[in-house]
Amino acid sequence: MASVPSPTPGGYSVTPTEPVTGRAAAQTAVRPPLPVKMVIAGGFGVGKTTAVGSISEIEPLTTEAAITEVAAGVDDLSHTPRKTTTTVAMDFGCITIDPTLKLYLFGTPGQDRFGFMWDDIVEGAVGGLVIVDTRRLDDCYAAVDYFEHKQVPFAVAVNAFDGKVEHGLDEVRWALDVAEHIPVIVFDARERGSVRDALLVVLELALARSEG
């Protein structure tokens, strides 16, 4: 039997050892992948909706509303001038990692005034990806604090807007005051493979948590 290819070099993989035959084969064939909930979080306009849309194998469910002139005075749009909408409830998408595992992705709204929704969105999640824009690190403290406080495994993913990162990863770790065991990585929210690799980092953390 051909082995299932690893979705990431050296990363999470499932390799069947022996051929499965008879009734066991029938059961294996019909068994749906394990559903796993993961949260995509972070401050305003860091690329959460973009990331869910890049990776989702279904048309993502989004709850975008136009940014009004009133909101424009509240939210910092200077670094995302083309941004005309904001998430007001959540994003939803999914991605099958391999035949045994399917991630259900829930993106949070980024604005502080929708913070009351986070508990419901994070409920039951195995982990979170906290997206960071290094030009606006201040906007990311709340998300990092939230996951630390809730003791939900998370990784910090710096979104390389236009391929540029204003601060090195060590500086980001220092500025956000995240512990050594929390991964701090760079990714591109627009790139499917890059988002997948970032999600797999969180998945490995969650697996390590469940095993340890």
Ligand X SMILES: Nc1nc2c(ncn2[C@@H]2O[C@H](COP(=O)(O)OP(=O)(O)OP(=O)(O)O)[C@@H](O)[C@H]2O)c(=O)[nH]1
Amino acid at 32: P
Secondary structure tally for the chain: helices H, strands E: 7, 8
Which residue from 40, 44, 49, 122 is in contact with Mg ion, where contact means CB under 5 A? Answer: 49
Tell me if 139 contacts ligand X by CB under 6 A. Answer: no
Q: Which is nearer to ligand X, 121 or 204 (CB)?
A: 121
User: Max CA-CA distance within the chain?
Assistant: 65
> Which 17-36 residues touch Mg ion, going by CB under 5 A?
none
DSSP alpha helix (H) spans, the chain: 22-30, 48-55, 69-72, 118-122, 141-150, 169-176, 192-211
Residue 26 or 92 with smaller CB distance to ligand X: 92
When the beta carbons of 7 and 147 are compared against Mg ion, the nearer one is 147
Of 72-101, which residues contact ligand X (CB under 6 A)? 80, 82-83, 86-87
Q: Is 172 helix (H, G, I), strand (E, B) or coil?
A: helix
Asked whether position 56 contacts ligand X by CB under 6 A, the answer is no
Considering only 48, 178, 198, 200, the residue that binds Mg ion (CB under 5 A) is: 48
User: Is the CB of residue 143 less than 8 Å from the CB of residue 43?
Assistant: yes
Enumerate binding residues for ligand X (CB under 6 A).
Answer: 42, 44-50, 80, 82-83, 86-87, 109-110, 159, 161-162, 188-190
